[in-house]
Structure 1
Amino acid sequence: MTENSNASQSLPPLCLIGGGQMGRAIVGGLIQAGTIRPDDLVVVDPSAQCRQWWSDQHPSAKCHASVQTVETMPPIVLLAVKPPIMQRVAQSAPKQWAGRLLVSVAAGITLNSMQAWFGHDRVIRVMPNTPCLVGEGASAFCAAAGATDEDQGHVKTMLEAVGIAIAVDEKQMNAVTGLSGSGPAYVFTIIEGLADGGVLAGLPRDLAMQLAVQTVLGAATMVKETGQHPGQLKDAVASPAGTTITGLNTLERRAVRAAMADAVAAAKQRGDELG
Protein backbone atom coordinates (compact mmCIF):
# COMPACT_ATOMS: atom_id res chain seq x y z
CA MET A 1 0.00 0.00 0.00
CA THR A 2 1.17 3.52 -0.75
CA GLU A 3 2.70 5.19 2.29
CA ASN A 4 1.24 8.55 3.29
CA SER A 5 0.89 10.77 6.33
CA ASN A 6 -2.89 10.63 6.58
CA ALA A 7 -3.52 6.89 6.47
CA SER A 8 -3.64 6.60 10.27
CA GLN A 9 -6.13 9.46 10.73
CA SER A 10 -9.79 8.66 11.29
CA LEU A 11 -12.90 10.02 9.63
CA PRO A 12 -16.30 10.87 11.07
CA PRO A 13 -19.13 8.40 10.38
CA LEU A 14 -19.87 8.05 6.69
CA CYS A 15 -22.83 7.12 4.50
CA LEU A 16 -22.06 5.41 1.19
CA ILE A 17 -24.76 5.90 -1.44
CA GLY A 18 -24.12 3.20 -4.02
CA GLY A 19 -22.31 0.12 -2.76
CA GLY A 20 -20.96 -1.08 -6.11
CA GLN A 21 -17.42 -1.39 -7.40
CA MET A 22 -16.16 2.15 -6.80
CA GLY A 23 -17.85 2.40 -3.40
CA ARG A 24 -16.30 -0.90 -2.42
CA ALA A 25 -12.89 0.24 -3.65
CA ILE A 26 -12.85 3.47 -1.66
CA VAL A 27 -14.64 2.42 1.52
CA GLY A 28 -13.06 -1.02 1.52
CA GLY A 29 -9.68 0.69 1.40
CA LEU A 30 -10.68 3.05 4.22
CA ILE A 31 -11.71 0.13 6.42
CA GLN A 32 -8.52 -1.76 5.61
CA ALA A 33 -6.44 1.31 6.46
CA GLY A 34 -8.30 1.81 9.74
CA THR A 35 -9.52 5.24 8.64
CA ILE A 36 -13.14 4.32 9.33
CA ARG A 37 -14.76 1.57 11.39
CA PRO A 38 -17.50 -0.60 9.86
CA ASP A 39 -19.88 0.28 12.71
CA ASP A 40 -19.55 3.97 11.67
CA LEU A 41 -20.64 3.10 8.14
CA VAL A 42 -24.10 3.29 6.54
CA VAL A 43 -24.53 1.76 3.07
CA VAL A 44 -27.52 2.58 0.87
CA ASP A 45 -28.12 0.50 -2.25
CA PRO A 46 -31.37 -0.79 -3.80
CA SER A 47 -29.74 -4.10 -4.77
CA ALA A 48 -30.37 -6.84 -2.20
CA GLN A 49 -27.34 -8.70 -3.54
CA CYS A 50 -25.15 -5.65 -2.99
CA ARG A 51 -26.45 -5.11 0.53
CA GLN A 52 -25.83 -8.79 1.29
CA TRP A 53 -22.23 -8.41 0.16
CA TRP A 54 -21.69 -5.53 2.58
CA SER A 55 -23.41 -7.42 5.40
CA ASP A 56 -21.24 -10.47 4.76
CA GLN A 57 -18.01 -8.49 4.55
CA HIS A 58 -18.74 -5.97 7.33
CA PRO A 59 -21.54 -7.25 9.60
CA SER A 60 -21.53 -4.15 11.80
CA ALA A 61 -22.22 -1.78 8.88
CA LYS A 62 -25.84 -0.60 8.61
CA CYS A 63 -27.38 -1.40 5.22
CA HIS A 64 -30.48 0.21 3.72
CA ALA A 65 -32.36 -0.16 0.45
CA SER A 66 -33.41 3.50 0.46
CA VAL A 67 -32.15 6.82 1.79
CA GLN A 68 -35.56 7.45 3.35
CA THR A 69 -35.06 4.62 5.87
CA VAL A 70 -31.81 6.10 7.25
CA GLU A 71 -32.94 7.65 10.52
CA THR A 72 -29.73 9.54 11.30
CA MET A 73 -27.64 10.52 8.30
CA PRO A 74 -23.87 10.57 9.05
CA PRO A 75 -22.00 13.86 8.61
CA ILE A 76 -20.21 12.73 5.42
CA VAL A 77 -22.10 11.32 2.43
CA LEU A 78 -20.09 9.60 -0.31
CA LEU A 79 -22.15 9.56 -3.50
CA ALA A 80 -20.84 6.66 -5.59
CA VAL A 81 -23.68 6.39 -8.10
CA LYS A 82 -23.79 6.51 -11.89
CA PRO A 83 -23.97 10.04 -13.34
CA PRO A 84 -27.41 9.58 -14.98
CA ILE A 85 -29.12 8.87 -11.64
CA MET A 86 -27.42 11.52 -9.48
CA GLN A 87 -30.25 14.05 -9.87
CA ARG A 88 -32.81 11.40 -8.91
CA VAL A 89 -30.79 10.60 -5.78
CA ALA A 90 -30.73 14.30 -4.88
CA GLN A 91 -34.51 14.49 -5.19
CA SER A 92 -35.15 11.27 -3.26
CA ALA A 93 -34.78 12.66 0.28
CA PRO A 94 -33.82 16.35 0.32
CA LYS A 95 -34.01 16.69 4.12
CA GLN A 96 -31.35 14.00 4.51
CA TRP A 97 -28.68 16.12 2.82
CA ALA A 98 -29.06 19.25 4.97
CA GLY A 99 -25.79 20.18 6.68
CA ARG A 100 -23.90 17.17 5.34
CA LEU A 101 -20.64 17.16 3.44
CA LEU A 102 -21.47 15.67 0.04
CA VAL A 103 -18.62 13.95 -1.80
CA SER A 104 -19.39 12.92 -5.38
CA VAL A 105 -17.40 10.44 -7.47
CA ALA A 106 -19.75 10.68 -10.49
CA ALA A 107 -17.79 11.41 -13.65
CA GLY A 108 -18.73 14.61 -15.42
CA ILE A 109 -21.22 15.94 -12.85
CA THR A 110 -20.16 19.51 -12.07
CA LEU A 111 -20.12 21.28 -8.74
CA ASN A 112 -22.77 23.69 -10.04
CA SER A 113 -25.09 20.79 -10.89
CA MET A 114 -24.51 19.19 -7.49
CA GLN A 115 -25.26 22.45 -5.69
CA ALA A 116 -28.44 22.99 -7.69
CA TRP A 117 -29.71 19.44 -7.22
CA PHE A 118 -28.89 19.04 -3.52
CA GLY A 119 -29.72 22.58 -2.48
CA HIS A 120 -26.46 23.62 -0.82
CA ASP A 121 -22.81 24.17 -1.66
CA ARG A 122 -20.98 22.02 0.87
CA VAL A 123 -19.93 19.76 -1.99
CA ILE A 124 -16.65 18.22 -3.10
CA ARG A 125 -16.17 16.48 -6.42
CA VAL A 126 -13.73 13.56 -6.56
CA MET A 127 -12.29 11.47 -9.36
CA PRO A 128 -10.76 8.29 -7.91
CA ASN A 129 -9.85 5.07 -9.68
CA THR A 130 -10.29 1.40 -8.91
CA PRO A 131 -6.72 0.76 -7.65
CA CYS A 132 -7.99 2.42 -4.46
CA LEU A 133 -9.01 -1.12 -3.57
CA VAL A 134 -5.36 -2.15 -3.24
CA GLY A 135 -4.15 1.12 -1.72
CA GLU A 136 -2.68 2.44 -4.96
CA GLY A 137 -5.35 4.86 -6.10
CA ALA A 138 -4.66 8.07 -8.03
CA SER A 139 -7.36 10.60 -7.12
CA ALA A 140 -8.07 14.27 -7.69
CA PHE A 141 -10.64 16.53 -6.06
CA CYS A 142 -12.10 20.03 -6.25
CA ALA A 143 -14.38 21.82 -3.79
CA ALA A 144 -17.35 24.17 -3.98
CA ALA A 145 -17.22 27.46 -2.07
CA GLY A 146 -19.25 26.07 0.82
CA ALA A 147 -16.78 23.26 1.58
CA THR A 148 -14.55 24.24 4.49
CA ASP A 149 -10.85 23.56 4.88
CA GLU A 150 -11.83 20.85 7.35
CA ASP A 151 -14.12 19.29 4.74
CA GLN A 152 -11.31 19.25 2.21
CA GLY A 153 -9.05 17.77 4.86
CA HIS A 154 -11.54 14.94 5.40
CA VAL A 155 -11.62 14.19 1.68
CA LYS A 156 -7.83 14.29 1.44
CA THR A 157 -7.62 11.89 4.39
CA MET A 158 -10.19 9.63 2.70
CA LEU A 159 -8.30 9.50 -0.57
CA GLU A 160 -4.78 9.34 0.84
CA ALA A 161 -5.77 6.31 2.88
CA VAL A 162 -6.10 4.48 -0.44
CA GLY A 163 -3.41 6.11 -2.59
CA ILE A 164 -2.51 9.67 -3.58
CA ALA A 165 -4.82 12.71 -3.66
CA ILE A 166 -4.28 15.93 -5.62
CA ALA A 167 -6.37 19.11 -5.41
CA VAL A 168 -7.11 20.54 -8.88
CA ASP A 169 -9.23 23.23 -10.51
CA GLU A 170 -12.61 21.92 -11.60
CA LYS A 171 -11.82 22.69 -15.23
CA GLN A 172 -9.15 19.97 -15.01
CA MET A 173 -11.41 17.27 -13.57
CA ASN A 174 -12.57 15.72 -16.82
CA ALA A 175 -8.98 15.50 -18.02
CA VAL A 176 -8.21 13.66 -14.77
CA THR A 177 -11.15 11.38 -15.55
CA GLY A 178 -9.73 10.56 -18.96
CA LEU A 179 -6.25 9.89 -17.60
CA SER A 180 -6.23 8.34 -14.12
CA GLY A 181 -9.95 7.63 -13.80
CA SER A 182 -10.16 5.56 -16.99
CA GLY A 183 -6.43 4.80 -17.16
CA PRO A 184 -6.47 1.48 -15.26
CA ALA A 185 -8.62 -0.01 -18.03
CA TYR A 186 -6.04 1.10 -20.60
CA VAL A 187 -3.24 -0.48 -18.58
CA PHE A 188 -5.23 -3.70 -18.16
CA THR A 189 -5.55 -3.81 -21.94
CA ILE A 190 -1.78 -3.35 -22.30
CA ILE A 191 -1.13 -6.17 -19.82
CA GLU A 192 -3.52 -8.42 -21.71
CA GLY A 193 -1.81 -7.55 -25.00
CA LEU A 194 1.66 -8.27 -23.59
CA ALA A 195 0.48 -11.63 -22.26
CA ASP A 196 -1.15 -12.48 -25.58
CA GLY A 197 2.13 -11.63 -27.28
CA GLY A 198 3.96 -13.96 -24.96
CA VAL A 199 1.55 -16.77 -25.80
CA LEU A 200 1.91 -16.00 -29.52
CA ALA A 201 5.69 -16.26 -29.07
CA GLY A 202 5.36 -19.67 -27.41
CA LEU A 203 4.99 -19.09 -23.66
CA PRO A 204 2.36 -20.84 -21.53
CA ARG A 205 -0.55 -18.50 -20.68
CA ASP A 206 0.06 -18.43 -16.92
CA LEU A 207 3.76 -17.67 -17.35
CA ALA A 208 3.06 -14.99 -19.97
CA MET A 209 0.56 -13.27 -17.67
CA GLN A 210 2.93 -13.40 -14.68
CA LEU A 211 5.73 -11.83 -16.70
CA ALA A 212 3.44 -9.18 -18.23
CA VAL A 213 2.08 -8.09 -14.84
CA GLN A 214 5.52 -7.85 -13.25
CA THR A 215 6.92 -6.04 -16.27
CA VAL A 216 4.28 -3.29 -16.06
CA LEU A 217 4.64 -3.05 -12.28
CA GLY A 218 8.43 -2.88 -12.49
CA ALA A 219 8.44 -0.30 -15.27
CA ALA A 220 6.00 1.96 -13.40
CA THR A 221 8.07 1.64 -10.23
CA MET A 222 11.23 2.63 -12.12
CA VAL A 223 9.58 5.82 -13.41
CA LYS A 224 8.30 6.64 -9.92
CA GLU A 225 11.47 5.83 -7.99
CA THR A 226 14.12 7.20 -10.38
CA GLY A 227 12.30 10.41 -11.34
CA GLN A 228 13.63 9.99 -14.87
CA HIS A 229 11.52 10.73 -17.94
CA PRO A 230 10.03 7.56 -19.44
CA GLY A 231 11.79 8.38 -22.70
CA GLN A 232 15.18 8.25 -20.95
CA LEU A 233 14.40 4.89 -19.41
CA LYS A 234 13.17 3.61 -22.76
CA ASP A 235 16.34 4.73 -24.55
CA ALA A 236 18.48 3.03 -21.90
CA VAL A 237 17.20 -0.41 -22.92
CA ALA A 238 16.91 0.18 -26.68
CA SER A 239 20.35 -0.82 -27.98
CA PRO A 240 21.23 -0.32 -31.67
CA ALA A 241 19.65 -2.91 -33.96
CA GLY A 242 18.47 -4.83 -30.88
CA THR A 243 15.25 -6.60 -29.97
CA THR A 244 13.77 -3.70 -27.98
CA ILE A 245 14.16 -1.05 -30.69
CA THR A 246 12.69 -3.48 -33.17
CA GLY A 247 9.64 -3.94 -30.96
CA LEU A 248 9.38 -0.18 -30.34
CA ASN A 249 9.44 0.42 -34.09
CA THR A 250 6.40 -1.81 -34.40
CA LEU A 251 4.58 0.16 -31.68
CA GLU A 252 5.42 3.44 -33.45
CA ARG A 253 4.20 2.11 -36.80
CA ARG A 254 0.95 1.05 -35.11
CA ALA A 255 0.69 4.49 -33.44
CA VAL A 256 0.28 2.99 -29.96
CA ARG A 257 1.48 6.15 -28.21
CA ALA A 258 -0.95 8.32 -30.19
CA ALA A 259 -3.75 5.85 -29.52
CA MET A 260 -3.19 6.14 -25.77
CA ALA A 261 -3.26 9.94 -25.95
CA ASP A 262 -6.42 9.80 -28.08
CA ALA A 263 -8.07 7.48 -25.55
CA VAL A 264 -7.47 9.98 -22.74
CA ALA A 265 -8.79 12.85 -24.87
CA ALA A 266 -11.88 10.87 -25.91
CA ALA A 267 -12.67 9.93 -22.32
CA LYS A 268 -12.23 13.58 -21.29
CA GLN A 269 -14.67 14.64 -24.02
CA ARG A 270 -17.20 12.09 -22.82
CA GLY A 271 -16.88 13.53 -19.32
CA ASP A 272 -17.65 16.97 -20.75
CA GLU A 273 -20.77 15.53 -22.39
CA LEU A 274 -21.94 13.88 -19.17
CA GLY A 275 -21.63 17.22 -17.38
Structure 2
Amino acid sequence: MTHSLDIGGSLLLLGAGKMGGAMLEGWLALGLAPGNVAVLDPHLPAAAAAQLAEAGIAVNPSLAFLGTPAVVLLAIKPQVMEAALPSVAPLFGPDTLAVSIMAGKTIAGIAALLPPRTAIVRAMPNTPAAIGRGITAAVPNGFVTPAQKEAADALLRATGALEWIDDESLIDAVTAVSGSGPAYVFHLVEALAAAGSAAGLPADLAMRLARATVAGSGELLHRSDQPAGTLRQNVTSPGGTTAAALAVLMGEGGLASLMEKAVLAAKKRAGELAS
Protein backbone atom coordinates (compact mmCIF):
# COMPACT_ATOMS: atom_id res chain seq x y z
CA MET A 1 0.00 0.00 0.00
CA THR A 2 1.40 3.41 -1.00
CA HIS A 3 1.12 6.17 1.56
CA SER A 4 1.18 9.87 0.78
CA LEU A 5 1.57 12.68 3.26
CA ASP A 6 0.58 15.95 1.61
CA ILE A 7 0.70 19.22 3.55
CA GLY A 8 -0.14 21.48 0.64
CA GLY A 9 3.37 22.74 -0.03
CA SER A 10 6.94 22.54 1.21
CA LEU A 11 8.15 21.90 4.74
CA LEU A 12 11.12 23.50 6.45
CA LEU A 13 12.51 21.61 9.44
CA LEU A 14 14.40 24.04 11.67
CA GLY A 15 16.55 21.76 13.81
CA ALA A 16 17.10 18.08 13.05
CA GLY A 17 18.22 16.79 16.43
CA LYS A 18 16.75 13.82 18.29
CA MET A 19 13.10 14.94 18.18
CA GLY A 20 13.12 16.72 14.83
CA GLY A 21 14.98 13.82 13.28
CA ALA A 22 12.57 11.31 14.79
CA MET A 23 9.59 13.14 13.37
CA LEU A 24 11.24 13.44 9.95
CA GLU A 25 11.80 9.67 9.91
CA GLY A 26 8.12 9.15 10.60
CA TRP A 27 7.02 11.56 7.86
CA LEU A 28 9.27 10.04 5.23
CA ALA A 29 8.05 6.56 6.14
CA LEU A 30 4.49 7.70 5.46
CA GLY A 31 5.31 9.18 2.09
CA LEU A 32 6.24 12.84 2.60
CA ALA A 33 8.11 13.70 -0.60
CA PRO A 34 11.80 14.35 0.25
CA GLY A 35 11.96 16.96 -2.49
CA ASN A 36 9.41 19.05 -0.58
CA VAL A 37 11.54 19.05 2.59
CA ALA A 38 14.44 21.27 3.61
CA VAL A 39 16.46 21.10 6.83
CA LEU A 40 18.23 24.02 8.48
CA ASP A 41 20.59 22.88 11.21
CA PRO A 42 24.15 24.24 11.32
CA HIS A 43 25.09 21.68 13.97
CA LEU A 44 23.94 18.64 12.00
CA PRO A 45 26.73 16.01 11.92
CA ALA A 46 28.27 15.53 8.49
CA ALA A 47 27.17 11.89 8.27
CA ALA A 48 23.56 12.76 9.07
CA ALA A 49 23.60 15.64 6.58
CA ALA A 50 24.96 13.36 3.87
CA GLN A 51 22.26 10.77 4.60
CA LEU A 52 19.50 13.36 4.31
CA ALA A 53 20.97 14.81 1.12
CA GLU A 54 21.20 11.33 -0.40
CA ALA A 55 17.48 10.90 0.34
CA GLY A 56 16.75 14.04 -1.69
CA ILE A 57 16.30 16.50 1.18
CA ALA A 58 17.85 19.97 0.89
CA VAL A 59 20.24 20.46 3.80
CA ASN A 60 21.18 23.97 4.94
CA PRO A 61 20.30 25.66 1.63
CA SER A 62 20.26 29.42 1.17
CA LEU A 63 17.14 31.27 2.30
CA ALA A 64 16.57 32.32 -1.32
CA PHE A 65 16.37 28.65 -2.29
CA LEU A 66 13.70 27.94 0.31
CA GLY A 67 11.02 30.30 -0.96
CA THR A 68 7.87 30.41 1.19
CA PRO A 69 7.19 27.10 2.95
CA ALA A 70 3.70 25.90 3.80
CA VAL A 71 4.91 24.66 7.19
CA VAL A 72 7.94 25.51 9.32
CA LEU A 73 8.57 22.93 12.04
CA LEU A 74 10.43 24.55 14.92
CA ALA A 75 12.50 21.76 16.45
CA ILE A 76 15.43 23.80 17.75
CA LYS A 77 16.56 23.86 21.36
CA PRO A 78 14.41 26.29 23.38
CA GLN A 79 17.51 28.15 24.54
CA VAL A 80 18.39 29.26 20.98
CA MET A 81 14.90 30.37 19.90
CA GLU A 82 15.56 34.11 20.24
CA ALA A 83 18.68 33.84 18.09
CA ALA A 84 17.33 31.45 15.46
CA LEU A 85 13.78 32.57 14.67
CA PRO A 86 14.54 36.08 13.36
CA SER A 87 16.75 34.53 10.68
CA VAL A 88 13.87 32.50 9.22
CA ALA A 89 11.07 35.01 9.88
CA PRO A 90 11.48 36.56 6.36
CA LEU A 91 10.49 33.18 4.87
CA PHE A 92 7.01 33.36 6.36
CA GLY A 93 4.18 34.26 4.05
CA PRO A 94 0.59 35.01 5.08
CA ASP A 95 -0.32 31.31 4.74
CA THR A 96 2.77 29.82 6.42
CA LEU A 97 2.10 27.70 9.50
CA ALA A 98 4.62 27.43 12.33
CA VAL A 99 4.50 24.17 14.28
CA SER A 100 6.64 24.35 17.41
CA ILE A 101 7.86 21.38 19.44
CA MET A 102 10.12 23.51 21.65
CA ALA A 103 9.61 22.67 25.32
CA GLY A 104 8.55 25.59 27.46
CA LYS A 105 8.27 28.16 24.68
CA THR A 106 4.82 29.76 24.61
CA ILE A 107 2.79 30.72 21.57
CA ALA A 108 3.11 34.38 22.62
CA GLY A 109 6.89 34.10 22.86
CA ILE A 110 7.12 32.48 19.43
CA ALA A 111 4.71 34.98 17.87
CA ALA A 112 6.82 37.91 19.07
CA LEU A 113 9.67 36.73 16.82
CA LEU A 114 7.59 36.03 13.70
CA PRO A 115 5.48 38.24 11.41
CA PRO A 116 2.19 39.54 12.85
CA ARG A 117 -0.82 37.20 12.66
CA THR A 118 1.33 34.13 12.01
CA ALA A 119 -0.57 30.86 12.45
CA ILE A 120 1.13 28.84 15.20
CA VAL A 121 0.55 25.36 16.57
CA ARG A 122 2.42 24.51 19.75
CA ALA A 123 2.95 20.77 20.10
CA MET A 124 4.70 18.36 22.40
CA PRO A 125 5.59 15.00 20.80
CA ASN A 126 7.88 12.27 22.10
CA THR A 127 10.65 10.15 20.61
CA PRO A 128 8.58 7.00 19.80
CA ALA A 129 7.43 9.18 16.89
CA ALA A 130 10.39 7.66 15.01
CA ILE A 131 8.57 4.30 14.87
CA GLY A 132 5.06 5.68 14.48
CA ARG A 133 4.18 5.08 18.12
CA GLY A 134 4.52 8.58 19.52
CA ILE A 135 1.92 10.62 21.37
CA THR A 136 1.58 14.35 20.78
CA ALA A 137 -0.55 17.04 22.38
CA ALA A 138 -1.11 20.23 20.38
CA VAL A 139 -2.79 23.62 20.79
CA PRO A 140 -3.43 26.15 17.96
CA ASN A 141 -3.51 29.92 18.17
CA GLY A 142 -6.40 31.97 16.81
CA PHE A 143 -4.84 32.47 13.37
CA VAL A 144 -4.70 28.78 12.45
CA THR A 145 -7.17 28.07 9.66
CA PRO A 146 -9.05 24.76 9.34
CA ALA A 147 -6.80 23.81 6.41
CA GLN A 148 -3.65 24.59 8.43
CA LYS A 149 -4.93 22.62 11.39
CA GLU A 150 -5.57 19.72 9.02
CA ALA A 151 -1.96 19.95 7.75
CA ALA A 152 -0.63 20.04 11.32
CA ASP A 153 -2.89 17.14 12.20
CA ALA A 154 -1.50 15.10 9.30
CA LEU A 155 2.11 15.82 10.28
CA LEU A 156 1.65 15.16 13.97
CA ARG A 157 -0.65 12.16 13.59
CA ALA A 158 1.73 10.59 11.05
CA THR A 159 4.06 9.77 13.93
CA GLY A 160 1.49 8.33 16.35
CA ALA A 161 -1.50 9.39 18.41
CA LEU A 162 -2.53 13.05 18.70
CA GLU A 163 -4.49 14.95 21.32
CA TRP A 164 -5.71 18.48 20.49
CA ILE A 165 -6.17 20.68 23.55
CA ASP A 166 -7.58 24.17 23.94
CA ASP A 167 -5.69 25.29 27.05
CA GLU A 168 -2.03 26.11 26.42
CA SER A 169 -1.32 26.10 30.15
CA LEU A 170 -1.60 22.29 30.08
CA ILE A 171 1.39 21.90 27.76
CA ASP A 172 4.03 22.03 30.52
CA ALA A 173 2.31 19.12 32.28
CA VAL A 174 2.04 17.25 28.97
CA THR A 175 5.78 17.79 28.51
CA ALA A 176 6.45 16.34 31.95
CA VAL A 177 4.30 13.24 31.36
CA SER A 178 4.61 12.18 27.73
CA GLY A 179 7.35 14.42 26.33
CA SER A 180 9.91 13.37 28.95
CA GLY A 181 8.13 10.10 29.77
CA PRO A 182 10.12 7.78 27.48
CA ALA A 183 13.24 8.60 29.50
CA TYR A 184 11.44 7.47 32.66
CA VAL A 185 10.58 4.15 31.01
CA PHE A 186 14.12 3.61 29.75
CA HIS A 187 15.44 4.34 33.24
CA LEU A 188 12.99 1.77 34.59
CA VAL A 189 14.68 -0.79 32.33
CA GLU A 190 18.10 0.26 33.65
CA ALA A 191 16.91 0.04 37.26
CA LEU A 192 15.18 -3.32 36.74
CA ALA A 193 18.28 -4.76 35.08
CA ALA A 194 20.51 -3.47 37.87
CA ALA A 195 18.18 -5.00 40.45
CA GLY A 196 18.32 -8.30 38.58
CA SER A 197 22.12 -8.20 38.71
CA ALA A 198 21.97 -7.47 42.44
CA ALA A 199 19.72 -10.52 42.82
CA GLY A 200 22.39 -12.72 41.23
CA LEU A 201 21.67 -12.66 37.49
CA PRO A 202 24.47 -12.13 34.97
CA ALA A 203 24.30 -8.48 33.91
CA ASP A 204 23.66 -9.19 30.21
CA LEU A 205 20.85 -11.64 31.00
CA ALA A 206 19.30 -9.20 33.47
CA MET A 207 19.28 -6.48 30.81
CA ARG A 208 17.72 -8.75 28.19
CA LEU A 209 15.01 -9.79 30.63
CA ALA A 210 14.32 -6.20 31.67
CA ARG A 211 14.16 -4.88 28.09
CA ALA A 212 11.83 -7.63 26.91
CA THR A 213 9.61 -7.30 29.98
CA VAL A 214 9.09 -3.57 29.61
CA ALA A 215 8.71 -3.72 25.82
CA GLY A 216 6.25 -6.61 26.03
CA SER A 217 4.27 -5.02 28.83
CA GLY A 218 4.00 -1.81 26.84
CA GLU A 219 2.71 -3.71 23.82
CA LEU A 220 0.18 -5.56 25.99
CA LEU A 221 -1.01 -2.23 27.36
CA HIS A 222 -1.21 -0.87 23.80
CA ARG A 223 -3.33 -3.76 22.54
CA SER A 224 -5.56 -4.17 25.59
CA ASP A 225 -8.61 -2.06 26.37
CA GLN A 226 -8.29 -2.85 30.06
CA PRO A 227 -7.09 -0.17 32.52
CA ALA A 228 -3.45 -0.31 33.57
CA GLY A 229 -4.57 -1.09 37.12
CA THR A 230 -6.49 -4.16 35.93
CA LEU A 231 -3.50 -5.42 33.96
CA ARG A 232 -1.38 -4.98 37.08
CA GLN A 233 -3.87 -6.93 39.16
CA ASN A 234 -3.92 -9.71 36.57
CA VAL A 235 -0.22 -10.35 37.27
CA THR A 236 -0.60 -10.20 41.05
CA SER A 237 -1.56 -13.29 43.03
CA PRO A 238 -2.47 -12.64 46.68
CA GLY A 239 0.53 -13.37 48.86
CA GLY A 240 2.73 -14.11 45.85
CA THR A 241 6.04 -12.77 44.58
CA THR A 242 4.53 -9.88 42.63
CA ALA A 243 2.51 -8.80 45.65
CA ALA A 244 5.69 -8.78 47.73
CA ALA A 245 7.41 -6.52 45.22
CA LEU A 246 4.39 -4.23 44.84
CA ALA A 247 4.22 -3.79 48.60
CA VAL A 248 7.55 -2.00 48.23
CA LEU A 249 6.79 -0.13 45.01
CA MET A 250 3.35 1.00 46.18
CA GLY A 251 4.34 1.71 49.77
CA GLU A 252 5.23 5.03 51.37
CA GLY A 253 7.85 6.85 49.31
CA GLY A 254 7.37 4.33 46.52
CA LEU A 255 6.99 4.68 42.78
CA ALA A 256 3.85 6.84 42.82
CA SER A 257 5.47 9.37 45.12
CA LEU A 258 8.72 9.41 43.13
CA MET A 259 6.86 9.76 39.84
CA GLU A 260 4.81 12.67 41.15
CA LYS A 261 8.01 14.44 42.23
CA ALA A 262 9.66 13.72 38.88
CA VAL A 263 6.73 15.01 36.82
CA LEU A 264 6.42 18.14 38.94
CA ALA A 265 10.16 18.78 38.55
CA ALA A 266 9.89 18.44 34.76
CA LYS A 267 6.82 20.70 34.68
CA LYS A 268 8.63 23.32 36.76
CA ARG A 269 11.63 23.23 34.43
CA ALA A 270 9.38 23.64 31.38
CA GLY A 271 7.96 26.76 32.99
CA GLU A 272 11.47 28.09 33.67
CA LEU A 273 12.40 27.64 30.02
CA ALA A 274 9.52 29.89 29.04
CA SER A 275 10.76 32.78 31.19
Relative to the length of structure 1, the TM-score reads 0.89
Q: State yes or no: 1:233 paired with 2:231.
A: yes
Tell me the equivalent position of 2:148.
151
Tell me the equivalent position of 1:273.
272
- Contact 2:68–2:93 at 8 Å: present in 1 too? no
Q: State yes or no: 1:25 paired with 2:27.
A: no
Q: What is the one-letter code of the residue matched to 2:266?
A: A
CA spacing shift, 1:240–1:94, aligned 2, 3 Å: closer
CA deviation after TM superposition for structure 1 residue 247, in Å: 0.9
Q: State yes or no: 1:90 paired with 2:85.
A: yes
- Contact 1:64–1:70 at 8 Å: present in 2 too? no
Q: State yes or no: 1:164 paired with 2:189.
A: no
Q: What is the one-letter code of the residue matched to 1:86?
A: M
Tell me the equivalent position of 2:70.
75
Tell me the equivalent position of 2:98.
102
Query: Which of 242, 248, 251 pairs up with 1:250?
Result: 248
Tell me the equivalent position of 1:3.
none
Q: What is the one-letter code of the residue matched to 1:228?
A: Q
Please list the CA deviations of residues 45-75 of structure 1 after superposition, one character each: whole Å capped at 9, or x if unmatched. Answer: 112525x41332442111117x645442421
Tell me the equivalent position of 1:263.
262
Query: For 2:137, what is the secondary structure of its paired residue?
Result: strand
**Cα distance between partner residues in 2 of 1:85 and 1:98:** 23
- Contact 1:77–1:103 at 8 Å: present in 2 too? yes
- Contact 2:137–2:165 at 8 Å: present in 1 too? yes
CA deviation after TM superposition for structure 1 residue 8, in Å: 4.5
Q: State yes or no: 1:64 paired with 2:63.
A: no
Which deviates the most, 264-273 or 225-234?
225-234
Query: For 2:69, what is the secondary structure of its paired residue?
Result: coil
CA deviation after TM superposition for structure 1 residue 249, in Å: 1.5
- Contact 1:15–1:73 at 8 Å: present in 2 too? no
CA spacing shift, 1:185–1:48, aligned 2, 3 Å: closer
- Contact 2:16–2:44 at 8 Å: present in 1 too? no
Aligned alpha-carbon RMSD (Å): 1.9
After TM superposition, the runs of 4+ consecutive aligned structure 1 residues lying more than 4 A away are none
CA spacing shift, 1:89–1:70, aligned 2, 3 Å: farther
Query: Which of 213, 218, 222 pairs up with 1:224?
Result: 222
Tell me the equivalent position of 1:177.
175
**Cα distance between partner residues in 1 of 2:268 and 2:34:** 37
Tell me the equivalent position of 2:201.
203
**Cα distance between partner residues in 2 of 1:57 and 1:94:** 24
Q: State yes or no: 1:39 paired with 2:35.
A: yes
CA spacing shift, 1:115–1:57, aligned 2, 3 Å: closer
**Cα distance between partner residues in 2 of 1:237 and 1:119:** 55
Query: For 2:149, what is the secondary structure of its paired residue?
Result: helix
CA spacing shift, 1:147–1:191, aligned 2, 3 Å: same
- Contact 1:73–1:96 at 8 Å: present in 2 too? yes
Relative to the length of structure 2, the TM-score reads 0.89
CA deviation after TM superposition for structure 1 residue 166, in Å: 0.8
Identical amino acids, percent of aligned pairs: 35
Query: For 2:59, what is the secondary structure of its paired residue?
Result: strand
Q: What is the one-letter code of the residue matched to 2:260?
A: A
- Contact 2:69–2:92 at 8 Å: present in 1 too? no
Greater RCO, 1 or 2 (C-alpha within 8 Å, sep 6+): 1
**Cα distance between partner residues in 2 of 1:172 and 1:232:** 28
